Amino acid sequence: MTIRPRLGTLIAGCAVAVLAGCQTAPPPPVVVPASFTPLGTTAPYLLGDVIGGQKARGAKMRAAKIRPLSPYEVGAYMADLDSELRRQTAGIGLDILQVSGGIVVRIPAAFTFDAGSAAVKATTDATLLEIARTVKTRNRTFVDVLAHTDTSGSPQTNAALSEKRAAAVATYLAGHGVARARIASRGLGESAPLYNPETSETDKAANRRIEIRLVPYRG
């Protein structure tokens, strides 16, 4: 029989490889820099319904003659949108995150606003413009604009400031071709931090952010 010689040859070969130090070792783990770690992707505010609810928002989309995605189109459509956003924003320093079937573009607030201000900075106009160009052409998604603050100042002040900032970004997107029927905005103040508690200025800077959430508009 040929089975035993083959088995013996295999065992002998393995033994020689081990003795020679030639056995295959597992590859070392890849260390991902902290700045590339998608933080806070399981937060309830990102996993819930779109702002105002899909029924009401869908009615506005239909009135604007925007065609919904069929179940068969959703996966490929969102994958193409993700790829295009990554190409358009490469090197800028944004996070493009896949969250619960949608996409979240996370923008550090320092890119868009001066401290205490709700006016979009002229120096970062190009950042939002690149996003607007892609979101405008890929129009079969809901667009939620979410603004956050750190814990500096009172909760009331932070809530009001975040509302103004979210509205400012929504207005910018609408002014650069994104259909207004697709857009809703909400300020979350300091209620949804990435870092809690904030133990450093780095933590505070991360908590101050704008998020543009793109959710497929389904039929």
Within-domain flag for 93: yes
Confidence of residue 200 (pLDDT cuts 50, 70, 90): confident
**What are the structure tokens assigned to 116, written together?**
């205490």
Q: How many residues does the chain have?
A: 219
Amino acid in position 84: E
* 164-172 average pLDDT score: 95
Q: What is the pLDDT of residues 84-143, one digit of tens each?
A: 999 988 888 888 999 989 999 998 877 888 878 888 887 677 889 989 999 999 999 999
Phi then psi for 205, rounded to 5 degrees? Answer: -60, -40
Distance of alpha carbon 87 from alpha carbon 76, whole angstroms: 17
Bridge partners, residue 145, by sequence: 185, 212
Within-domain flag for 41: no
Within-domain flag for 200: yes
Q: Report in angstroms the alpha-carbon separations of 134 from 131, 173, 176.
A: 5, 11, 11
Within-domain flag for 141: yes
Confidence of residue 203 (pLDDT cuts 50, 70, 90): confident
Domain span at 146? 62-216
Angle at the Cα of 76 from the Cα atoms of 99 and 50, rounded to 5 degrees? 40
Within-domain flag for 72: yes
Burial class (CB in 10 A: 0-12, 13-18, 19+), 218: middle
Give 36's DSSP letter: G
Own/partner contacts of 5-14, CB < 8 Å, gap of 24 or more, are: none
Distance of alpha carbon 109 from alpha carbon 89, whole angstroms: 16
Q: What is the pTM of this model?
A: 0.81
Identify the CATH number of the domain in which residue 157 sits.
Answer: 3.30.1330.60
Within-domain flag for 206: yes
Q: How many domains does the chain have?
A: 1
Within-domain flag for 137: yes
Within-domain flag for 170: yes
Chain-centre distance for alpha carbon 207:
14
Chain-centre distance for alpha carbon 171:
20
